Amino acid sequence: MRYMLMMFGSETADYSPPGLHDEPCWMPWAREMEARGVVLKDGAQLQPSSTATTVRSAEDVLVADGPFAETKEQILGYDVIECENLDEAIYAASRHPVAQYGGTIEVRPILATA
Between 17 and 33, where is the model more confident? Answer: 33
pLDDT for the residue numbered 12: 87
The DSSP annotation for 53-87 comes to EEEEESSSEEEEES-S--SS-EEEEEEEEE-SSHH
Domain span at 103: 2-13+24-109
Instruction: Please check whether residue 69 lies inside any domain of the structure.
Output: yes
> Total structural domains in the chain?
1
Q: How far apart are CA 65 and CA 100, in angstroms?
A: 31
- Label residue 111 by pLDDT band (50, 70, 90): very high
Instruction: Please check whether residue 68 lies inside any domain of the structure.
Output: yes
Give the CATH number, domain containing residue 105: 3.30.70.1060
CA 36: distance to chain centroid?
A: 19
pLDDT for the residue numbered 91: 95
Instruction: Please check whether residue 19 lies inside any domain of the structure.
Output: no
* Average of per-residue pLDDT values in the chain: 87
Which residues pair with residue 54 across a beta bridge?
64
Q: Is the pLDDT of residue 112 over 90?
A: no
pLDDT for the residue numbered 26: 85
pLDDT digits (tens, 9 = 90+) for 79-109: 999 999 999 999 999 999 999 988 899 999 9
Instruction: Please check whether residue 114 lies inside any domain of the structure.
Output: no
End-to-end CA distance of the chain: 14
Instruction: Please check whether residue 87 lies inside any domain of the structure.
Output: yes
Name the residue among 4, 78, 74 with its Cα closest to residue 43: 78
Instruction: Please check whether residue 37 lies inside any domain of the structure.
Output: yes
pLDDT digits (tens, 9 = 90+) for 48-86: 888 888 887 877 777 776 655 556 778 899 999 999 999
Instruction: Please check whether residue 18 lies inside any domain of the structure.
Output: no
Instruction: Please check whether residue 63 lies inside any domain of the structure.
Output: yes
